[in-house]
Amino acid sequence: MADAKPVIVGVDDADDQDVLVRYAAHQAVMRGVPLHIAHAIALPGPFGWEKEDEAGQGSLVQRGAAVVDRFEAVARSAFPDVTVAGELPFGDPASTLVARSAEASLLVLGHRGRGGFPRLALGSVSLQVATHSRCPVLVTRPGSGAELPRKRIIVGADLVHHTPEALEFAFAEADRRAAHLHIVHTLHRPALLPGPGSVTSAQRDVHETEESARGLVEERIAELRGRHPQVPVELDIEWARPATRLAELSEEADLLVVGSRGRTGLRRLLLGSVSSEVLHTARCPVAVVPTAAD
C-alpha cells in the first residue's frame, strides 16, 4: 500500500469541507490506497518570497499545517484504517494539483473552494484541473448526496471519439461500489423532418441507426463485461442532447463518468464541451477521466 498511488483531495481553510474529506477518504479505502490531503500555499508575487518575508511565509505554513491536521483528523475519525498524509505545496492550487496528478490514482475536489483552493466559479480551479490532469478527477457538489449511495453510476459513451478509459473507470467504480452501471449513448436528431409518405422509411432509418449504435457499444464493452461479470449493465441509445440528458440522469446517480476529450480536436487545451457542461449542471459527483490521446 505504501507504493500505491494515493487519492489526493484538495482542501481550503473553510469549515464546510468535512463531507469532501470523508468522501475522499472513502475513495481511498475502496481503492486500498493512502489519502493525501493537499492545501496549496500561494506565493505572494511573481518572484516568490523575499528574505524579509520569511516570517509571513512561516505564518502561512503554520496556518496551512493546521488546516491539514484538522482534516486528517476528520478522515481518520470516519475511516480509522485509512493511511493519511498531508501536503503543503507552494504555488497556485490548479498548477500544484495538476503537477501531483501524475503520481495520484484520483484527484478529489469540491465544486468550489476558498483560501488554498479559491471559492470561485467552477471555471477556475476545478475546471483547470479536470482539463489538464493526468489522472481521473472527481468533482463533488454541495448537497449532491455523496454520502447517501443510490448504487447507480452513469457513464457517457462516445462513439465519435472512442474513450475506453471512461468506460473502464466506470466499470471498475461500479464493481468496487457494488453498483448498477447505466451506459448512455446519445444520437443527434436529423435537422429536417421527413416529408409526407416517408414516415415509415424514416422510422426504419431511426431503428437501424439505434441498432447500429447499440451493436458498436456492445462490441466495445464486451471485454469489460467479462472482466466485471458481477456488474449489472443497462445500455440506452437515446436521441437527445448529450450534456442535457446526462445531467437529467444524474439526479438519481451516485456518480456521472465522462471522458475529458471533446469533438474539437484541441487536445489538452480545452475540456470537451459535454464534460465541461456536466461539471456545471450535474446533480451528483462527476468523474472526468483523461484519455490516452490526451
Q: What is the pLDDT of residues 76-129, one digit of tens each?
A: 999 999 999 999 999 889 999 999 999 999 999 998 644 444 433 454 788 889
Buried b (16+ CB within 10 A) or exposed e, 60-80: beebbeebbebbbebbeebbe
Of the chain, the percentage scoring pLDDT greater than 90 comes to 60
Dihedral angle sign, alpha carbons of residues 72, 73, 75, 76 = positive
| Average pLDDT of span 224-234 | 98
Is the pLDDT at 152 greater than 70? The verdict is yes
| Average pLDDT of span 250-278 | 75
Give dist(CA 24, CA 6) in Å, integer.
10
Q: Which residues contact 138 (CB under 8 A, 6 or more apart)?
A: 27, 106, 107, 108, 109, 255, 285, 286, 287
Task: Say how many CA atoms lie within 13 Å of 271 toward its Cβ.
Answer: 26
Q: Global pTM?
A: 0.86
- Most confident segment among 4-18, 47-61, 146-160, 227-241: 227-241
Domains of the chain with CATH codes? 7-139 (3.40.50.12370), 152-289 (3.40.50.620)
Residue 263 sits at the vertex; the CA angle it makes with 281 and 154, to the nearest 5 degrees, is: 40
| Average pLDDT of span 194-205 | 64
